[in-house]
Structure 1
Amino acid sequence: MASKMWGLQTKLLVEQYLAQMYPQLASQLTLFAEGWDYRIYLTSKEMVIRVPKNPWSQTHLQYEMAKLHTLSLPLDFPHYIKTSGALGVYPLISGKDLRRATPTDHMIRQLAQFLRTLHQDTYLPQKTVISHHRHRWVKRFEHLYQETQEKIYPLLSVKEQRRTSHYFDQFLDDISQSSWSVSLIHGDLTPEHIIAENGFIKGIIDFGDMTVGDPAYDLAGIPIQWETDELALYAQQIDSDGHRQFYRQMKVLHTILHGLDQGHVQDVEQAIEMFRKGI
């Protein structure tokens, strides 16, 4: 039996939904980007249409839209027209991402200030129990450890498996014992999600993995060579134990797992080589 298609999986369905829910935005749609969990369209009226590809991302989009509505940050970020719905719509933040650019000293200061502001306890959910969120964070990596053993270990040598196990065990023991800070985090802060123009950062996008966790995780997607001046000082302040090095490797594991799920052999091979160099 053929499975029923989930959600707004085609451009036509997105256009029909927009015509019904956002009639003022009726215009030409162009597929702009596609990630693991979202398709991104642009309208001729310079609006971004963020479309979840699965039930998990649909649920998280509701959280993202509602939570971003409450934030006050020093850089621009997606300002959704509505805080609920089957997709998200916000005005385009103009500029180019920093994947192929070297940030200026001013950009580094801007990024440090953005992270300091985002990571303030002001933005934590009311009645947050710190121990609860620490426990959830540990469980997240225990689950990744188990999934790595089941799916990735068969691709590694016995020596590499032992080194990976030691890497996980050491981190899990350390983070379970230490009293690290808990904050709201972006969850996927990488150069492609940092938009700049004329030597200044204009805004931060893609809060699809926003959650409560270890603020050091937001440093894991930022190239090490960017850690200078104020950003280096902030990194040392929130991550004196160097957990961001572990988190960088975990991002590689996620790439391997996603590639295995999607059957992307070349992506898996490249990511495994990258992981081998880091353990």
Structure 2
Amino acid sequence: MADKPAAEVAVDTDLVRRLLAAQHADLAGPPLRLVASGWDNVIYRLGDDLAVRLPRRAAAADLIEHEQRWLPELARRLPVAVPVPVRRGVPGLGYPWAWTVTRWRPGTTAAEVPAGERRAQAEPLAAVVAALHRPAPPDAPHNPVRGVPLAARRDAVIGRLTSGLVPQADRAAALWTELSATPAWAGPALWLHGDLHPANLVVADGGLAAVLDFGDLTAGDPATDLAAAWLTFDATGRERFVRALGHAYDAATWRRARAWALALATALLAHSDDAPVLRAVGDHALREVLAG
């Protein structure tokens, strides 16, 4: 499996503390604790109520800026909490990119909850999708790997399916060929989360408390986000999710959504050797997609 990309800038507690002291001195005192270091970002918990999110490589730098620009506007119409910046950081002290302070959202990710227990999130997640999927302005962020026609993802998907890293690759390849032939989205470019899977959903007290990580925020085919039906739910939960969205999407869009779920499952399976939670999301999604 592919290794996680190396950090292009060393981010540690001392650097984060010094950035806070230099730019937001009133936030420099509370304890700092590293809670995540993913492919793109490092996240520190700041005291009890805040989090600091910093890109660890150049490819993620624009993603933070997209969140800073658009989340304050989008959050006003979304029915759950999202990581709206509380403070914005700028390059400094040798650190080259923008960074963000946001609210810490207590709870657990839906990825850590058994699929059968996620069913209660079907209707709340459908409400988030319905509120988000509105026509986006021309200056919405462009993302070359989300919201695009399925044909644009063919080489990447086939490459993963022939890599030996994805189980049941022959079945998956046949299904990809079938689903990816579905006509492309012909409607307006809609706002998309772009990475709507259970590791980016926070649940607390049995409810959907927050949707995280809008770094892939973009506009395009809503089928990309609707892939959450397979990434997040079992058959019962998926039926509830689809029913809650009513007639907002036609059959072709749901077929493309299943193709997107397959594409994203292959990515999670091929690139999550150091992230067992994401690997489990990929395993679940592949099973659900192949089952229908």
* TM bucket, shorter chain: 0.7 to 0.9
Contact 1:69 1:83 (C-alpha < 8 Å) held by counterparts: no
Which one of the candidate residues 217, 223, 243 is aligned to 2:233? 223
Name the counterpart of 2:84: 79
Kindly tell me: are residues 83 and 41 of structure 1, through their superposed partners in 2, closer, same or farther at Cα, counting changes over 3 Å?
closer
SS in structure 2 at match of 1:202? strand
Which of residues 98, 118, 133 in structure 2 aligns to 1:119?
A: 133
More helix by share: 1
Shift of 1:257: 3.9
Tell me which moved more, 148-157 or 210-219.
148-157
- Deviation of the 1:62 alpha carbon: 0.3
Which moves more between the two structures, 83-92 or 46-55? Answer: 83-92
Q: Which 10-residue stretch deviates more, 69-78 or 222-231?
A: 222-231
TM-score normalized by structure 1? 0.76
Counterpart selection for 1:251 from 256, 264, 267? 264
Q: Alpha carbons of 1:143 and 1:11: their partners in 2 closer, same or farther (altered >3 Å)?
A: farther
Instruction: Note closer, same or farther for the CA distance 1:150–1:89 as it changes in structure 2 (3 Å cut).
Output: same
Pairwise CA distance, 1:117: 0.6
2:100 pairs, out of 72, 77, 88, with 88
Structure 1 moving runs of 4+ over 3 Å = 82-85, 133-136, 141-144, 147-152, 163-173, 228-231, 270-279
What is the distance in 2 between the residues matched to 1:9 and 1:91?
20
2:180, 2:256 within 8 Å by CA — same for their partners in 1? no
* Pair 1:98-2:110 in alignment: yes
**Where do 5+ consecutive residues of structure 2 fail to align?**
1-5, 91-97
Rounded to whole Å, the distance in 1 between the matches of 2:194 and 2:242 is 17
Of the two, which has the highest radius of gyration?
A: 1
Q: Deviations over 1:148-172 (max 9, x none)?
A: 4446414289x956x6555444444
Q: Shift in Å at residue 135 of structure 1?
A: 11
Report which stretch shifted further, 219-228 or 229-238. Answer: 229-238
**In structure 1, C-alpha distance between the alignment counterparts of 2:137 and 2:246, rounded to whole Å:** 24
CA 1:201–1:226: 2 relative to 1, 3 Å? same
Higher relative contact order (CA 8 A, sep 6+): 2
- Which digits, 9 at most, give the CA deviation of each residue in 1:92-143, with x for residues without a partner? 12233323152465x433222211111122xx12477xxxx999712xx445
> Is the contact between residue 147 and residue 222 of structure 2 (CA under 8 Å) also seen in structure 1?
no
Unmatched runs of 5 consecutive residues or more in structure 1: none
Distance 1:278 1:42, change over 3 A: same
Matched, 1:232 2:239: no
Question: 2:148 corresponds to which residue?
Answer: 137
Specify the alignment match of 2:16 in structure 1: 14
Deviation at 1:47, TM superposition (A): 0.7
- Partner Cα distance (2:287, 2:204) in 1: 36
CA RMSD of aligned residues (A): 3.8
Contact 1:219/1:235 (CA < 8 Å) preserved in 2? no
1:24 to 2, 13, 26: 26
Higher mean Cα deviation, 54-63 or 240-249?
240-249
Which of 154, 164, 186 does residue 155 from structure 1 map onto? Answer: 164
In structure 2, how many angstroms separate the alpha carbons of the residues matched to 1:182 and 1:214? 6
Identify the range of structure 1 (11-20 vs 235-244) with the bigger mean alpha-carbon deviation.
Answer: 235-244
Deviations 1:32-68 (A, max 9, x none): 1232212211011421111212111111110111110
Q: Percent identity?
A: 20
Residue identity matched to 1:113: A
Alignment of 1:155-194 (within 5 A): 155=164, 160=169, 166-176=174-184, 179-180=186-187, 182-194=189-201
In structure 2, the partner of 1:33 is 36
SS at match of 1:227: helix
Alignment: residue pair count: 262
